Amino acid sequence: MRIAFNAGILRAPRTGIGQYVAELANALRADSELCLELFDGWGWQQQLPSSAMPGYSRLSSLVKRVLPDAYTLRRRLQQKRFNEGVRRLNPALYHDPSLWPFEFDGPMVMTMHDLTHVHFPETQPKDRLVEIERHAAHSVERAQRILVDSDFIGAEVCRFYGVAADRVTVAPLGCAARFHPRSVEQLTAPLQALGLYPGEYLLCVGTVEPRKNLQLALRAFEQLPAAVRSRYPLVIVGMPGWRTEQLAAPLQRAIVSGQVRLLGYQSDLAVAELLAGARLLVFPSLYEGFGLPVLEAMASGTPVLLTRSSALPEVAGEAGTYIDAQNEQVCAAAMLRLIDDQAYWQQQRDAGLLRAQAFSWQRCAQITARVYRQVVES
């Protein structure tokens, strides 16, 4: 069965959806009956790109400044290249992991990772949001089946778009093999290159934007005793978002003191090493369709401090240390407990490692492949 798969997001630096595309595509290759044809936005290939297109982010920003209707123009060009490949390859089905699938005269499956554009429209560039709002509902209507990462998002899709439950399938995400516990000896050199030491920093991972609620982490961190802040800096890793100015004032104070380190985007391997070396992951997000960093931290042997928002309890289960998304006092106390109480830290570490075993990209791929067959055979 030949599957057309939109992998265009891999031209940009990989964030959550990019990891989904890469890991799912690799796992689907284990199914000998499937032939994945990857559309990268401009051409077709069977192999995943090993890295993002050099300078993609800067080039994309430049194009949007120069061309007032850049999204629409780029989309028309991509649709033309997509159509050329479809005519040549004649796929049995098209799978798109985004809210804006290409037009396709055949069965289509789409993945909806979350409804951020509905709940937090301010986190999207205005021109992109306009296109999402224009096309998402139409895409949902024409998709034969909609894959979601969690029960929470499945219920949201049904409620918001009026989709019948039998058109929605939950395929929980997995965890890449690079996320695993590492010894102090394995971590010392790569972490020292960043000015860090194994087990002696707190970590936040995610795009710097309001829904990630990093303000809470900063306010809670500021309440920790000075000696604790000096020994355990707060390290923030991730792409800059669209409203990072909201964090400017508290960040500037903390960065000057050296107690907060803003590392920006890091390679896949570096993120895995940072997760394995952290004392704990602080993940106070207000809204997640799944929350990959939570699973990746647990698989790395790092306890997670998180909120009960959206899909996060489905991922962490009883292995998480839960906090109120608006209460920095509770967050600070939870941080201190995971720093000072070694028995509790070990308990949460063990629980996280066990919990992470319930998720795999192989399982996600098996569910996805089953949906492909159901759609084609229906």
The type of residue at 313 is P
Task: Please indicate, yes or no, if residue 64 is contained in any of the structural domains.
Answer: yes
**Predicted TM-score of the model (pTM):** 0.90
pLDDT above 70 as % of the chain: 89
Strand order in the sheet with 304-307: 260-264, 234-237, 202-205, 280-283, 304-307, 321-323
Residues 261 and 118 in one domain: no
Range of the domain at 305: 184-356
Task: Confirm if 259 and 230 have CB atoms less than 8 A apart.
Answer: yes
pLDDT of residue 55: 47
Characterize the bridge pairing of strands 44-45 and 145-148: unpaired
Q: What pLDDT digit, counting tens, does each position of 84-97 carry?
A: 999 999 999 999 99
The reply to whether 298 and 254 lie within a common domain is yes
CATH code where residue 309 lies: 3.40.50.2000
Domains identified in the chain, total number: 2
Buried b / exposed e along 91-118 (16+ C-beta atoms within 10 A)? bbbbbbbbbbbbebeebbbbbbbbbbee
Most confident of 129-133, 263-267, 355-359: 355-359
Mean pLDDT of 24-51: 90
Q: What's the pLDDT score for residue 245?
A: 54
**Segment 250-265, tens digit of pLDDT:** 666 777 777 899 898 8
Residue 8 has pLDDT above 80, yes or no: yes
Domain annotation covers residue 179: no
- The answer to whether residues 191 and 320 belong to one domain is yes
* pLDDT for res 47: 86
Same-domain pairing of 232 and 245: yes
Do both 214 and 161 map to the same domain?
no
